[in-house]
Chain A
Amino acid sequence: MLLLQIDWSFLLEKSVLILVIVLVSFGVAAYATWGERKVAAIMQDRLGPNRAGFMGLLQPLADGGKLFFKEEIIPEGSTRTIFILGPFLFMVTALMTSAVIPWGPDIHTAAGNVISLQVADINIGILFVFGVVSVGVYGIMLGGWASNNKFSLLSSIRSASQSISYELAMGLSLIALLMMSGSLSMREIAQQQHGFWDGHWLTWNVFKQPLGFFIFMVCAFAELNRAPFDLPECESELNMGYHQEYSSMKLGLYLFAEYINMFISSAVMVTLFWGSYNFPGMDWVAAHTNAIVFALICVIVLMAKITAFILFFMFIRWTLPRFRYDQLMNLGWKGLIPLALFNMVITGAAILWLFNK
C-alpha cells in the first residue's frame, strides 16, 4: 500500500513547523498584551507597565501567572460542558487559521529537499480561513449562551450578528482580489506579489486593490471584535460582554485568543494585500545569500509587517470611540457591502478592458 506509506521526515518537518508557529503565536499574543498597554499609555501621556523586568517586559508572564492562580468559578446555572468548551473552541479556531499562511518562501536545501514554510498549501486557502473564522464565532456564542447570564447572551448575539454581517462584505471585497489573482491558494497569492516592481506596476495587491484592502481591513476589525467595533464587550452596556462569567485561565484563554486572532488576521492581511514575505530587492538578496538566510530574512520581513499591522490595530483602538449598534449595522450593510460590490464591478471591468483577458 503506497497510499499509507508515511514519510517520516515530512511528518517531523510539519510537526516542528506547527509547534514553532503555535509557540510564536502565543509569544506574539503575550507581547501584544504588553504592547497594547504600552501603546495605550504612550497615547495617554503615561508610561505603561514598567515594573516587571526591563520596561515591564515580564508583565505578560506575571499576568499569565496571576490568571493561572485565580479561583475558577463555574456558575451554578451554567451549562457546564458547553461553558468549558467555549474558550477552548475559541482558542483552537484562533490557532487553526495559521495553518494555511505561508510564513516564508520554500527552502531548497543542498541535498535537494524542499522545505516549505507553510503547514498546508491547500488550494482553497482563503476559503479555509473564512470557514475557520466563522467557526470562531461559536466560541463566543457558546460561551455567552452557556453562561446563563443575560448580558453574556446579548453580547454573544451581537457578536454573531456582527460577524455574519461583516463576513459578507469581507468575502465580497476579496472576490475582486481573487479575480486578479486567479487562485485561492495563499501560497500562490504570496508568490504573485514577488518583489515590489514588475516593470509595469507595483506587485503588492494593496496597490492594485486599495479599496478592496480598505474594506477587508474594516471588516477584519469587526471580525476581531476590536475597537471601534468591540460591541460584544461593550463595558458601558454589557459589563464585560460574553466572558463576564468566566474567571481564571478560561477568561485568560478568551483574552489570549483575541490577541492570537489579531496576530493571525494581521498575517492574513499582509499575505493577501501587503506582499506577504516579499520585499523590494529580494531577488538581489536571494542571489547573494544562501537559501536558509534568505528564508530567514523573508520571515523577519513578514513579521515586521505583521507587527506594523498589530500596532495599527492598537493605534485605532486607543483613538476611536465605539460605534453604536445601529451605526455598525448601517456601515456594514449599507456602506461596505455596496462598496465591495462596486469594487468588484470596477475590477471586473478593468480586467476586461485593460488586460483584455
Chain B
Amino acid sequence: MTFGEKIYIPAIMKGLSITLGHIFKKKATVSYPEQKRPFSPVFRGLHVLNRDEEGRERCTACGLCALACPAEAITMEAAERKPGEENLYREEKYAAKYEINMLRCIFCGFCEEACPKDAIYLSETVMPANYTRKYFIYKKEDLLIPHPKKQESAQ
C-alpha cells in the first residue's frame, strides 16, 4: 500500500461522501399495504372462470385447458345441459366439476391460451396464502366470476 492508502483517511472521506450523497436520494421503498406497485400488463395471477353478458358460464368442458396444463393441475367433469338450463350454461355441455389445484399450478397461462371459448382467464390477483392443503384446491364456485345481473340487482 502507498502512504496515502495506509492512513485510510482519503478513502474514508470518499466513502463518507458517498453515504452522505445517499441521504438526499429518493427512497426506493414502496410502503406495501398503502401503496401498491401496478402489475405488469402480462401478469398472470389467480384464475377466473368467465361468464358471458347474460351471466351464463362460458366453459364447455372440452378439456383443452386440462390437456394444455403442464402441471396437470386442472381436473373437470363434463355434464349435458338439460332443457331449462339455457340461462345457466352457454353451450350444450358444461363443467359439472371444475377444480384447479393451486399448489400444482405454475401460472404459465397455457390454459388461457388453449381455451376456445374464452372461458378461463388469469386475473391480476395474487394467490392468497392458507393453512391447509385442501383450501388450495379451488372449486368451480371459487373460480367463477360474479353473475353480472345478480351483481347489479344486489347493488
Contacts and interface: CB of A to CB of B under 8 A. Distances in A.
A55 interface: no
B40 interface: no
A7 B16 CA distance: 52
Interface stretch (B26-34, B47-55, B102-110, B129-137): B26-34
A315 B28 contact: no
A318 B25 contact: no
B93 to A, nearest CB: 53
Nearest to B28: A45
B145 interface: no
A45 B26 contact: yes
Contacts of B31: 47, 50
Nearest to A323: B8
Contact of A319 (B8, B18, B28, B29): B18
Interface string A33-55: 00000000011111100100000
Interface residues of B, number: 17
A2 interface: no
B27 A46 contact: yes
A320 interface: yes
Contacts, number: 34
Residue from A42, A315, A319 having most chain B Cβ neighbours under 10 A: A319
Interface in A250-307: none
Contact of A45 (B8, B16, B20, B22): B22
Contact of B16 (A319, A331, A335): A319
Contacts of A45: 22, 25-29
Contacts of A315: 16, 19-20
Contacts of B25: 45
Given A319-B15, A320-B12, A320-B15, A43 B23 contact: yes
A264 to B, nearest CB: 24
Interface in A114-154: none
Contacts of A44: 22
A318 B20 CA distance: 11
A331 B22 CA distance: 29
A46 B29 contact: yes
Contacts of A42: 22-23
A47 B22 CA distance: 12
B28 A46 contact: yes
A234 to B, nearest CB: 19
A127 to B, nearest CB: 30
Nearest to A339: B7
A320 B19 CA distance: 10
A297 B31 CA distance: 39
Contacts of B8: 331
Interface of B: 6-8, 12, 15-16, 18-20, 22-23, 25-29, 31
Given A45-B25, A46-B29, 10 more contacts: A44-B22, A45-B27, A45-B28, A45-B29, A46-B27, A50-B31, A318-B19, A319-B12, A320-B15, A331-B8
30 contacts: A42-B22, A42-B23, A43-B19, A43-B22, A43-B23, A44-B22, A45-B22, A45-B25, A45-B27, A45-B28, A45-B29, A46-B27, A46-B28, A47-B27, A47-B29, A47-B31, A315-B16, A315-B19, A315-B20, A316-B16, A318-B19, A319-B12, A319-B15, A319-B16, A319-B18, A319-B19, A320-B15, A331-B8, A335-B6, A335-B7
